[in-house]
Chains A and B, each alone.
Chain A
Amino acid sequence: MSGLRILVPIKRVIDYAVKPRVNKTNTAIETNGVKHSMNPFDELSVEEAVRIREKNAAKVEDILAFSAGPAKAQDVLRTAMAMGADRGVHVLVEDGVEGGELEPLGVAKMLRKIVDEEKRNLVILGKQSISDDSAQTGQMLAGLLNWPQATQAAKVEMGADDMVTVTREVDGGVETVKMKLPMVITTDLRLNEPRYASLPNIMKAKKKPLVKKTLEEMGVDVGRRLKTIKIAEPPARKGGDKVEDVDGMIKKLKELGAI
């Protein structure tokens, strides 16, 4: 197998345990003072890349982490490097400058450029960001590059002759597909269990190279195609009615017409 040059795109999002709040003007989600961390699916991508190196020591040339976002996106890049990525590229996109977050199509175009410049042959992305929930970027990147794609991966096996076998989570079970590098993989929850970065590795990560770029330097059209009209709270459910026992439950379910 030829050398693997892996790209792991990662995104800084509101921490999964935080309940997001809509702002007063119904234009965005409140992000000020809210805990952020690496998108959970992206942790799986970084972990998988590092595991591929650990299992196939000689074959992985390097692991490049990439993030586009505000200055603080560097924090998640450092986390990725503490987990084992070798270096990072950060494209600075200030909040609100582009009228909101970058859209998947714009990100995919940026990633295509990084793939070309950095001669990547394997891109591992999360299956979706838990903020926008679009689940598009990996597939779009594969489409732009005309590379094969294996989405919602639950198992990745690197074989001989650049062939990769991936077990995918699909409706009702799993399916297994085989394809040749270069390729795009998106990660599902069951792929692995991401490691915690140890303190020595966090210290080492501070010295790893991190290249900063501007959107202008990237020279990619990331203009928004979708206009946010409004963001609203979902209709609240009126819950909280408790019953004493099983008979009460059955009675109430009958009243509600559920059984």
Chain B
Amino acid sequence: MFSISRSTALRQARTSLRQSQATTVPHVSSLARLLSSLAVLEQRDGKLNTSSLSAVTAAQRLGGSVTGFLAGSSVKAVAEEAAKVKGLEKIIYVENGAYDKGLPENFAPLLVENIKKGGFTHILAGNSAFGKNVMPRAAAILDTQQISDITGIESEDTFTRPIYAGNAILTVQSTDDIKIITLRQTSFAPAETEGGSAEISEGVDPKAESPTEWLSEDLAKSDRPELATATRVVSGGRGLKSKEEFDRLMPPLADALGAAIGASRAAVDSGFADNSLQVGQTGKNVAPQLYLCAGISGAIQHLAGMKDSKVIAAINKDADAPIFQVADVGLVGDLFDKVPELTEKLKA
């Protein structure tokens, strides 16, 4: 699938790029021609998942051509919608209901066949539940070492990613011919949904059987903004003491700010809030304009999920809580007084 001459040419192009101080235009364009990215887009019930468009943004930063990939039932209409996304040159779609649930057992082989056919050098997807599930499987089939949850792109083979719950930033260079990448969606704003005019074509469908049967799902329904992409997040922790108090205090504050609701692991483990609301190393990563938390001490694992927020505000009765070391605005006090007061004054 990947001819030796091709990867050699790419390597030469890279070398000449590095060697020559004054980069000449032909070098850039020859590299750009060889570099072609596939952005794996997610869809649900015939609707494009716009947060998956972060993959398009990351792909554009690499340079080279960017193709979007979609699969599922009646996906042609979604492909037409995606064709308008700025930065996409092509859309490859595969119409088959077997791919609707993103089951890795058939989606990974599907992806692999389309990567081989298109000769893509970079495959990008969001580090969502879908991306985490499918991409490593595809990487193993292709015998490449995936690079997970990148937050920065240094060059076409060098990326940065947080390790140790965000306590260190690793810069890593891939030696694989095909780079499989998942990206932190809060680090790459989704591409604009207007202004593009991509060419649409049908991909190959290997029709791999999925031995897995999808039975059901139970998704938390909410009119509030989605946690991962919300511009404001209010988050509650163990200090709220019970589910009743969490439900009494947090939703009104969220509504006053038009914010999504998050929670610490302690709050989730104690049953105050749903698992899907957990912010942290093993939950969601958020980076809103405002992260306002109450009753959260600020353990390493929690900070991992929110410390890239633009402004952090914290209410906690313990003046020595670690959360105050990262908070731009800290208020020491009893959240049972302060949160309702804040809610009232914000509404006013």
Contacts and interface: CB of A to CB of B under 8 A. Distances in A.
Contact of B170 (A188, A228, A257): A228
B76 interface: no
A27 B159 CA distance: 15
Contact of A232 (B140, B144, B169): B169
Interface in B129-177: 129-130, 132-141, 143-149, 158, 161-176
Contacts of B161: 133
B273 interface: no
Interface string A236-259: 010111111111111011001111
B194 interface: no
Contact of A258 (B226, B301, B311): B311
A179 B167 contact: no
Contacts, number: 265
B223 interface: no
Main secondary structure of the interface of A (DSSP, over half): mixed
A105 B140 contact: yes
Interface stretch (A46-54, A78-86, A167-175, A211-219): A167-175
B182 to A, nearest CB: 9
A226 B211 contact: no
Contacts of B214: 175-177
B168 A139 contact: no
Given A228-B170, A230-B171, A148 B105 contact: yes
A135 interface: yes
A41 to B, nearest CB: 8
Nearest to B280: A189
Residue among B174, B276, B328, B346 with the most chain A CB within 10 A? B328
24 contacts: A19-B167, A22-B168, A105-B139, A135-B149, A143-B108, A148-B212, A169-B276, A170-B276, A172-B219, A175-B214, A176-B215, A189-B282, A227-B172, A229-B171, A231-B163, A234-B166, A237-B307, A237-B325, A239-B312, A242-B329, A247-B345, A249-B313, A249-B329, A258-B289
